Structures are given as structure tokens and as C-alpha cells.
Structure 1
Amino acid sequence: MHTVQVSLAMTLVGHQNPIFALDYAPASASLFTAGNDRGIVEWDMNTGKFNRVLCSVPASVYALHFLEASNTLLAGLRNGEIWLIDVEKQQLLKKMKVDKGAVFAIRYLAEKNELLAIGEEGVAYVWSLESFDLLYRFRVSSTTVRSIQFDAVNNELLFGDKDGHVYRYDAVEFKELHKQKIHSMPVTALLLSGEHLFSGGRDAQLYRLGKEDLSVQQNVTPHLFTVYGILKHPGAGVLTTVSRDKSIKFWDSESLALLKNVSIERGFDSHHLSINAALYVGANNQLVTVGDDKLVKVWNVDVATT
């Protein structure tokens, strides 16, 4: 079992609207955040200061993904566009676009240097990031898909859709391997950890699934409302979940026992509206959370084994 101590390191203020997405550039210690502001913001995590608006965008941003090798940032937009941005030059390199609807999730397939995007229409698109040609287009679901996980070991993709289904796909030929109904409402978060897949939903449920057959191995009710993020602590066997109920919770990854509840009600200077996304960053494994209250919160998380 573990014990978890959490303290607020800093609050980054500047967004004028809800924040939906974030990612981190380790070499420069730059944090990127975006949402309804029509702009992607860059923060200096060494100083906790606003750095710049990296670029303006024509629509809300639902997904960010930083590519360290090329120092570029991918952004998935409500208008169906995916932007590739050169961070150093502050330059838009390429726009890609899905046929219809918003882009809710993007993943980089490093071995093939390909980008996969999916969203409102349940169709996945795969582009080459060398030629920018659209290589594949395949339907995963008849409804919205908000979550992707990439299993680099087995070269597989995992998706979660609005009807509560979880899918396993071959990442080479993009063929469905398995499909399972898990949630009674939309799947809103997935986390691949070892041989397990964790799934969170709008039904406020958290499931531990077998990665192969997607069988339910354990189920808890972690929050009062939608689970918007599931993260693995980089240095310990601890899971972190964030939710529309404004709380951050820490769990033992083996037993799913609750270790810590961080919220205003528990005396923390935390978010007072929905927490929409979270990320562990930096050598000290700080947790960054963003939400509808337009705030970026940076937390010190200390984990000890008991």
C-alpha cells in the first residue's frame, strides 16, 4: 500500500474560458494548454509564468499532443482540423482535416511516423507525418469516440465510444480484434497500464479490464460524475483520476483502494468547477490539472510505500 501527500505548488491564471487539453515539452519545461480561448497558451514551468500565446486557432481545442523529436505540437479542433505547429518558430506547418465533426483524440504512432485522429463521427484517420498523405480511414464506431490508447508493445490501439463500448484494434492493418460493452454511458477516459486497461465513463464508473479480452476484473465508483482522466503516477503504483465533480483522487493501482481525495471540500485550494484533463510532468512528477474554472493547477505529489 502507498501513502500520498499532495500540496499545491502554483496556480497559473490567464485563460478566459474553460480549458480542455494540455501537454508538456520536457526539454524546455514548457506546458501547453488550450480550450475555448481560441488560442494555445505556453507556460514556463520553471518559473510558473505565462510565456506566450503559441498561436491563435479558429475553434475550440479538444486535444494536444507534443512531438519531442521534431519539437512540434499537434492540436485537434472542434471544426475537424488537426494543426501541426512548429513550437520554436511559432509557425503553422500543416493543417489536416477529418470529413465531419470535432476531433476529440489524437495519437502519434512513432514507429511509422503517423498521426491517428478520431472524434465526433467515430471514424479514425491516419496521416503520414512525412508526406501528410491520408493513408487510412476506417470506422471504429457509429458514434463519437473520445478516448484512444496506443499499446506500443503489442502494436494495438484501444478506443472508447459514446455508447460505452471499448475496442481493441490491430495498429498495423487497423482491423478490429475485440469489442466489449463496458459502461452504461460514454467512455470518457482510458489508461493502459501493463496487462490492464482502465476505463472511466460518464456513468462515474472506473473499470479495470483484461487487456486481451476486455473482461471486467474490478469496478469501483470513484467520483460523483464523469471521469475525465485516468493517469498512472510515473514513479509508483498509484492511479490518479479527475472528474466533473471537481475532485482529484489517488488510488492504489492493485487494490483500487482510495489513498487521497483532493478537493475544496477536503480543504485544498483546488478547482471549483469540472476538472477536464490532467498530466504528470517534469523530473519531480508534478501533477497538472485544468478545468472549467479557467485555471491551471500544479501539484506536488509525494508517494511513499508503507
Structure 2
Amino acid sequence: MSSIQVKKQHTLTGHKDSLYTLCAYTDSAFFSAGGDGMVVLWDLKSPDTGKMIVKVPASVYGMSYNKERDILVVGQNFSGIHLVDVNTKKEIGSLALTTKAIFDIQTTSEAIFVATGEGEVFKIDWDLQILASKKLSVESARSIAVSAERKEMAVGFSDHHIRIFDTESLQLKKEFKAHEISVFSVRYHPQLPVLMSASRDARFKLWDLDNDYKMVEEVVGHMYAINHIEFGESGKYFVTCSMDKSIKVWDATEFKLLKVIDKARHAGHATSVNKLLWMNYRNWLVSCSDDRTISVWEVLSEH
């Protein structure tokens, strides 16, 4: 078992409200967004100053940068999605979708997938035509994970369920009760035939893709809600973050806890940690919080 050493590298400030989402732009650059509606671009090679790309009138919970299209998709709560050219900082298209929150956006080179607070899931093409939509719950669709290999996507809902959709048609392939309360994060394991889910119930669970999504493990991961799961590039480790203000590093094969990152031990966040992004650049981990700050962590394994 490797031991993990963590060192805080940077604290990035400038946002005026809680931060809810992060997404990668290049190996060293990423976007942040939250309650102030500002989408800011940061570069870890010179992290002191962020560059505002666009500002929308409402909170941003979900966004996705698509490298093949070179377009950033931003979800504006109570409205819809905006397509942004990062280089010119100009909006190149928008589509009204919902009067509630947009909780997650994932993209492929062919399509944009959106999860909304009305429990609806959309598949949209890059010309902003709705190709398909499914509303199978009156409660929020919270998190999307897309598996290109399996041609499916998993969506976690606030009605405690995970639903598996065919990515071509959005046809429902499978649904099952996964947790006792809201499913906040779903992720396909990069190395194993496993879907991971995390919940407001402070647990994460493992579901066997080759055995009809049978649960194979359940771990009480935090004291309060787990907001997000993120894997490192190697697939050997993953991290979770929580409303309990902590980040935890886990072994991705044995699912054992390796490190706790918190305020007392590492000058961590003062309030809920909402999103994680594990960058290729120096294997640095980025986190954002209700405390309006972004933290950058160096995570080193010692064999």
C-alpha cells in the first residue's frame, strides 16, 4: 500500500460567492464557476490571476469543456445552456431548457448531455437541437457519467435512484434504488468494470457492470454528504469531497482510505467542498468550496 503525502500549493481567490463546479481546459488550465455567475479561467503555470471568460445572470452548477469542438458549455440555473468560444470570450449560442437548476453537463464530440432540477435529462447536438429527452422522476437529476465504451450513461437522481441510459437514444436500460437519499455523484471506474456512486447519505457504493449493477461494496466515506468523486489520471487513486469540509484520498483497487485533507491538518477549506478536479499538470488536485476559494494540492505517493 502506498502512503500519500499532500502539500497545499496555492489558494486562488476572486469569486464573490460559493463555488460549485470545475472543469479542465488544458493539462494545466481549468475553469471555475459558482453562485456569482462568473466563469473564470485559471492556469496552474501562473495561478495568481484568473481570467473571466463569461458572466451569466444566475448560479452555475454545471459546465463542460469539449476539446474536440473547442467549446465551453455553461449551465445557467433557471434558464438553459450557453455555448462559449473561450478564445474570443463570446457566446456563440444558447438554448432555454428549464426553469429550475442545471445540475450537471457532460459532452462528447457528438452531443451535450444535461441533467436538470426538474428530473429531466436532455441530449442536444452542437447546433443546439434537442435530439432526445427523458423525464423519469419528479425529483432532480444530479450527476451524469458517460461511458463511451459501453455506449451508455449513468445518471444519479434525488429520488435515490440511478438510471442507466443508452447514449444514442436515451432509452432507459436499467434503474435501481442506489441510496437512501439523493445521489450526488456517479463515476465509471477508469480501470475496473465498476460504477461508483456517492450520496447525501455520506456513503459511496460500487456497482458491478458485468453483473447487472449488483452492489459489491458500500463505504461510509464522510461525516456528511459526499458531493463529488474524482479519479486521478493513473486510475490508482480517487478522491471524494464532502459537506464535512474535507477531501479524502482513496486507493482505487482496494477502496481503502489513504489520506484526509482538512483545515486542521492541511489548511483546507472552511466550509463544504463541492467539486474536485485532478489535473495532469504535476498531478495537482484542485478543489472548490462554499468558502469562495479554490485550493491547489500536490498529491504524492510514496511506495
TM-score band (shorter)? over 0.9
Give the TM-score, by structure 1 length: 0.94
Query: Quick one: distance in 2 between partners of 1:122 and 1:181?
Result: 15
Kindly provide the amino acid, as one letter, of the partner of residue 37 in structure 1. D
1:118 paired to 2:121: no
Q: Which residue of 2 aligns with 1:172?
A: 168
1:223-282 CA deviation, whole Å, 9 max, x = no partner?
0011011111212511211001010101112222111011113x2111010000010113
Q: Which residue of 2 aligns with 1:92?
A: 91
Query: Quick one: distance in 1 between partners of 2:150 and 2:235?
Result: 23
1:129-176 CA deviation, whole Å, 9 max, x = no partner?
0x3212112224231011110011010010110021111111122111
Pick the structure with more strand per residue: 1
Q: Which residue of 1 aligns with 2:75?
A: 76
Deviates more, 1:232-241 or 1:197-206: 232-241
Kindly provide the amino acid, as one letter, of the partner of residue 269 in structure 1. A
How far is the alpha carbon of 1:49 from its aligned partner?
Answer: 2.1
4+ runs deviating over 6 angstroms: none
Query: Quick one: distance in 2 between partners of 1:31 and 1:251?
Result: 23
State the aligned residue count.
Answer: 300
Query: Quick one: distance in 1 between partners of 2:293 and 2:66?
Result: 25
- Find the residue that maps to 1:85 and give its secondary structure: strand
1:31 paired to 2:30: yes
Q: Is the 8 A contact 1:4 1:301 kept in 2?
A: yes
Q: Is the 8 A contact 1:236 1:303 kept in 2?
A: no
How far is the alpha carbon of 1:301 from its aligned partner?
Answer: 0.7
Q: Describe the shift of the 1:273–1:99 C-alpha distance in structure 2 as closer, same or farther (beyond 3 A).
A: closer
Gaps of 5+ in 1: none
Query: Quick one: distance in 2 between partners of 1:99 and 1:241?
Result: 29
Q: Which residue of 2 aligns with 1:11?
A: 11
Partner residue of 1:146 out of 142, 148, 153? 142
Percent identical among aligned pairs is 26
1:284 paired to 2:282: yes
Q: Is the 8 A contact 2:233 2:280 kept in 1?
A: no
Q: Is the 8 A contact 2:80 2:98 kept in 1?
A: no
Q: Which residue of 2 aligns with 1:188?
A: 184
Q: Is the 8 A contact 2:226 2:241 kept in 1?
A: yes
Q: Which residue of 2 aligns with 1:270?
A: 268
Q: Is the 8 A contact 1:158 1:166 kept in 2?
A: yes
Mapping of residues 128-139 of structure 1, within 5 Å: 128-129=125-126, 131-139=127-135
Kindly provide the amino acid, as one letter, of the partner of residue 13 in structure 2. V
1:220 paired to 2:216: no
Q: Is the 8 A contact 1:272 1:293 kept in 2?
A: yes
How far is the alpha carbon of 1:12 from its aligned partner?
Answer: 0.4
Query: Quick one: distance in 1 between partners of 2:132 and 2:209?
Result: 25
How far is the alpha carbon of 1:45 from its aligned partner?
Answer: 1.6
Kindly provide the amino acid, as one letter, of the partner of residue 79 in structure 1. F
Q: Which residue of 2 aligns with 1:257?
A: 256
Kindly provide the amino acid, as one letter, of the partner of residue 18 in structure 2. P
RMSD: 1.4
